[in-house]
């Protein structure tokens, strides 16, 4: 058998493997979901940026000057517990759950509603630690705190929307509302660290409304980015 030309018709397995490797190494299509490690890094950066944003504004605006007049229970209800609820909300919102679809919608929805309501509940139920100073500018002061709190929540919400692109394959509306509510609670705790007004009506109107608004923005805006 001197004619070996038929060997040229046999496919080269090495060349095929190299071709497959080139296909595997091809760049990911634009708009695809981020990798798990990239998503985790993005969430850490977004959370760190949001906390830094709040800390910077507290540094500029300053802390309230009446801490010595506040009871430990009042500080816990108005500052510590909102931070705890916010942390739980954010963790539940991004928890992968079974099959990577997140936790059950009943858990997510319940916490999305209870988080902002708890902020209002403590504002309404906690007796003032001292007699609130009478003010004829209730609506002006409430609108001022409302604007500040919304501004403090806006940047973390934007960072969350960028970090959670295509992250929620199931219940994106409720999970995004939970993210918004958690970030709103962080902003609410921050404004409680700054504003010395202990009037429950002011706390409800000026500090509580932005928490609910942040949850609504999460459900309406962040969900568009986070929907997988």
DSSP string, 84-108: HHHHHHHHHHH---GGGS-S-HHHH
Residue at 161 is within a domain: yes
pLDDT at 74: 95
Map residue 227 onto helix, strand or coil. strand
Q: Which two tokens stand for residue 169?
A: 């394959």
Confidence of residue 101 (pLDDT cuts 50, 70, 90): low
The answer to whether residue 38 scores a pLDDT higher than 60 is yes
Question: For residues 20 and 27, what is the distance between their CA atoms, to the nearest angstrom?
Answer: 14
- Find out whether 132 and 216 touch, Cβ atoms under 8 Å: no
Q: How many CA atoms lie within 13 A of 188 on its CB side?
A: 39
Q: Which two tokens stand for residue 68?
A: 């010595």
Residue at 24 is within a domain: no
Domain span including residue 146: 34-226
Per-chain mean pLDDT for the chain: 84
Residue at 3 is within a domain: no
pLDDT at 195: 95
pLDDT at 18: 45
Q: Quote the pTM value.
A: 0.81
Residue at 29 is within a domain: no
Residue at 96 is within a domain: yes
pLDDT at 171: 85
Residue at 44 is within a domain: yes
pLDDT at 25: 44
How many structural domains is the chain composed of? 1
Residue at 19 is within a domain: no
Residue at 27 is within a domain: no
pLDDT at 156: 93
- Per the model's pLDDT, the better-predicted residue between 27 and 64 turns out to be 64
């Amino acid at each position: 058998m001197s004619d070996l030309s038929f060997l040229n018709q046999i496919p080269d397995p090495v060349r095929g493997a190299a071709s497959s490797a080139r296909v595997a190494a091809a760049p990911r299509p634009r708009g695809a979901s981020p990798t798990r490690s990239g998503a985790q890094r993005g969430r850490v950066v977004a959370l760190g940026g949001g906390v830094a944003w709040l800390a910077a504004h507290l540094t500029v605006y300053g802390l309230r000057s009446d801490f010595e007049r506040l009871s430990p229970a009042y500080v816990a209800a108005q500052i510590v517990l909102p931070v705890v609820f916010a942390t739980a909300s954010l963790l539940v919102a991004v928890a992968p759950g079974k099959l990577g679809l997140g936790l059950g919608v009943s858990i997510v929805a319940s916490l999305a509603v209870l988080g902002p309501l708890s902020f209002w509940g403590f504002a309404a139920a906690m007796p003032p630690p001292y007699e609130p100073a009478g003010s004829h500018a209730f609506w002006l002061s409430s609108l001022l705190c409302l604007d500040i709190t919304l501004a403090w929540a806006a940047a973390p919400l934007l960072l969350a929307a960028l970090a959670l692109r295509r992250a929620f394959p199931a219940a994106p509306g409720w999970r995004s509302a939970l993210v918004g509510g958690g970030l709103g609670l962080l902003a609410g705790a921050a404004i409680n660290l700054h504003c010395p007004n202990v009037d429950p009506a002011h706390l409800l109107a000026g500090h509580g409304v932005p928490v609910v608004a942040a949850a609504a923005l999460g459900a309406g805006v962040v969900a568009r980015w986070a929907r997988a």
